[in-house]
Amino acid sequence: MRHRLHATTFRTWMLVVCGLLPLQPWSAPAAWAAPRPHTPVSRAGPVETASMLLMEVGSGDVLESTHPHVQRAPASLDKLMTLYLTLRAIHAGRLTPDTNVTVSTDAWRIGRVPGSSRMFLNVGDTVTVGQLLEGLMVASGNDAAEALAETVGGSAERFVDDMNATAARLGMHDTHFVTPHGLPAPGEHVSAWDMALLARQLLLEFPDATRYSSPQYESYAGIRQANWNNLVFRDPRVDGLKTGHTAESGYSIVATARDGQLRLVAVVLGAPTVRRRTALAEGMLAAGFAHYTVVAVPWQTIVPASLRVYGGRAPAVPLQPAHPVQVLIARGSRGDFDVTEQITVRPFAPIGQGQQVGLITVGRGGRVMQTVPLLAGTAVDRSGLFGRVWGAVRYAAASLLHRHPQMTRGTYSPPVPAS
């Protein structure tokens, strides 16, 4: 998140949103002005205490924020980190969604704490990791969170250590976890900024993570529970992620929605009622979709899509971005994009598949809008001794003739987006 985009009209509209009956369907205005700097607008009543943030996932651009770094009790928002670490364990091959877990006494006991949301696990139950993940995200099962923590971390205590180490790695400087589930615990806190960071990382690394948070209902042991995230019932674009509530934290939500290529995350922490939380989250999402669009940049037609390799068993390696090359712009904006490809390795074999070899940067008007790592699409092994020597000779000759520049630039003129 390199910069923030603000609009006077955005905050003005949000004041209107806060005055609506919160459970009425949202309707977006017909048009929006272009974003411009503004001074903060004061908010009356308890809304002043809420923290809010709207982020576009692909770029990490923050489109709106209010009190983004205020530390607040997370309640069940802890479960976003529990989900993330479990999906990482699955990706690493340590678990699968079909791995069986035997429910411990500690996990059962957590579900019986007064006021605890639960999946209704019983001691000795055999349940799959996939079932636990759905119970975690839909039913907000504290028992499911404990069971996953024990399975992934070996114990809840070690899992919490991993939660905090991961938070530090991701730059979540306002966050400290004490539990994997979010039942009230001294010293535990998060911020709207950090929750948006975590949600973005989740969605970038595991785009299918929403399969566990999007179902409207979850059933276990003959008990059917509705998703605590009421937005999945109200807007078909919403497919996650998590809500939270305790007397200390107030009503919170980290919601994500997708419309075409544009995916947004809206965070509300500390709303005084569930209705207010709903209105604020829906207002931010509606404003974001009305005001912004995503442009895919066809970088392969502008800069080289392969890298010449010397001393290898193949003459070149295809390049692929770590994630789609696309930029967020205000609807109706005009102008060309500058596309730069920078090679950051010496082009000698061996090169491993998935190895980062460069960067794609997209900018406009001198401002960097997106930077995406370039990865090797295939592996290239070393050739024999003669091939390596001949490759070094050819590389030296090409260097004298400037035939393998480390940086290539081009320009892309997109179609004008609909306003």
H-type helices in 177-302, by residue range?
192-205, 231-234, 274-291
Q: Cis peptide leading into 241, omega within 30 of 0?
A: yes
List of residues 6+ apart from 24 with CB closer than 8 A: none
Closest CA to 256 of 233, 275, 232, 273: 232
Contact 302, 289 (CB under 8 A): no
242 is known as an active-site residue? no
Q: Which residue's structure tokens are 């905090």?
A: 164
Both tokens of 27, joined, read 């309707």
Q: How far is it, in rounded angstroms, from Cα 362 to Cα 358?
A: 14
Q: How far is it, in rounded angstroms, from Cα 337 to Cα 341?
A: 13
Out of 59, 65, 76, 117, which one is annotated catalytic? 76
Report in angstroms the alpha-carbon separations of 77 from 80, 102, 150, 244, 394: 6, 25, 18, 6, 56
Characterize the bridge pairing of strands 356-364 and 367-376: antiparallel
Both tokens of 135, joined, read 């119970």
Out of 65, 140, 214, 252, which one is annotated catalytic? 140
List of residues 6+ apart from 259 with CB closer than 8 A: 237, 289
Q: How far is it, in rounded angstroms, from Cα 97 to Cα 135?
A: 13
116 is known as an active-site residue? no
List of residues 6+ apart from 67 with CB closer than 8 A: 49, 50, 51, 52, 192
Out of 51, 79, 213, 252, which one is annotated catalytic? 79
155 is known as an active-site residue? no
Tell me the catalytic residues: 76, 79, 140
